[in-house]
Amino acid sequence: AQRVTQPEKLLSVFKGAPVELKCNYSYSGSPELFWYVQYSRQRLQLLLRHISRESIKGFTADLNKGETSFHLKKPFAQEEDSAMYYCALSGVEYGNKLVFGAGTILRVKS
């Protein structure tokens, strides 16, 4: 069974500190990994995809197949980064389903 694990329910950091939101996955084929974000009073939206290898709002995430991880990182946290972050998994073997982790609340303190 495919699974996405986000071990931290809440991550609290100070403004300017580095951030790493952890995501581990279990998948037998070639995974497709995503990070979605929900800011306060806004809709859930895509932050980034592993296939794009891009940096969005200073966030990056590298797919590590050896460690089956897709951690989200940002070198210097900002207060506006405070939100709920979901890691999500899809793939050819999983058809048209997108499976989400339990989510991590990021709180950036001033």
> Which positions lie near another protein, rule CB under 8 A?
4, 6, 9, 32, 34, 36, 43-46, 49-51, 86, 88, 90-92, 96-103
Overall size of the chain counted in residues:
110
Element (H, E) at 21: strand 19-21
Q: Which is nearer to another protein, 19 or 37 (CB)?
A: 37
Geometric angle at alpha carbon 53, from 49 and 58, rounded to 5°: 85
Task: Name the amino acid, one letter, at 78.
Answer: Q
Task: Judge contact between 34 and 53, C-beta under 8 A.
Answer: no
Least Å distance, CB 104 to another protein, is: 10
Least Å distance, CB 6 to another protein, is: 8
Q: Which is nearer to another protein, 15 or 50 (CB)?
A: 50
